[in-house]
Amino acid sequence: MRGVAENVNFKSKEVTLKDGNVIKYDKLIIAIGVIPFIPNIPGINLKNVTTFKTEDELLRIKDATKNLQKAVVIGAGAIGIELAQALNAVGIKTYLIDMMDHILPQLVDNDMIEEGQRLIIENERFTICELVGQGLFIGKAMGKESQKNKRRMGENSDNC
């Protein structure tokens, strides 16, 4: 069903749509829309690099992932995490990368997430250097000097 929600009655558990239809629910999930932040990375306009905001764009991504083995999701906000989880659930090895130090950077501060995140995420830092053709070059921060190694996913490292 498609529509625009105009009113939510939390007591009667009903959502009224703009067209007048009323939907009853047991649980309500409010998924607010966002405008994707497009980082300034060389190669960001390549064919296999995409963002999504609408359902149609998400369905296009779903069709494009049918024969994938690996994917990279840039952005560890709520939508990025959800997409990474969905890709992983269908057997696609998925890398989730964010420019901040932790997941959900806009929603949770470092103190709240640090302990739990350490338990589930390998503590490595990457910088995306370049998107190329079918691949992705990332730089891995090394040690306190933050030396960066550049490598294509699955290949040996070069200097960044």
pLDDT of the residue at 146: 34
Q: Are residues 151 and 110 in the same domain?
A: yes
Does residue 73 sit in the same domain as residue 130? yes
**Statement to judge: residues 153 and 122 lie in one domain:** yes
pTM value? 0.54
23 and 84 inside one domain: no
**pLDDT reported for residue 143:** 36
- Name the most confidently modeled range: 21-30, 100-109, 128-137: 21-30
* Dihedral pair phi/psi, residue 124, rounded to 5°: -125, 150
Q: What is the pLDDT of residues 41-71, one digit of tens each?
A: 777 777 777 777 777 777 777 787 888 888 8
CATH label of the domain that carries residue 132: 3.50.50.60
Interatomic CA distance for residues 79 and 148, integer angstroms:
28
Output the pLDDT for position 101.
Answer: 65
- How many domains does the chain contain in total? 2
Domain ranges, residue 8? 1-30
**Same-domain check for residues 26 and 69:** no
User: Is residue 116 pLDDT above 60, yes or no?
Assistant: no
Contacts of 126 (CB under 8 A, 6+ apart): 97, 138, 139, 140, 141
One domain, residues 16 and 39: no
pLDDT digits (tens, 9 = 90+) for 125-155: 555 555 555 544 444 443 333 333 444 444 4
Q: Let me know whether 70 and 123 are in one domain.
A: yes
Distance CA(100)–CA(28), nearest Å, equals: 30
Q: Specify whether 94 is located in the same domain as 146.
A: yes
**pLDDT tier at 11 (50, 70, 90 boundaries)?**
confident
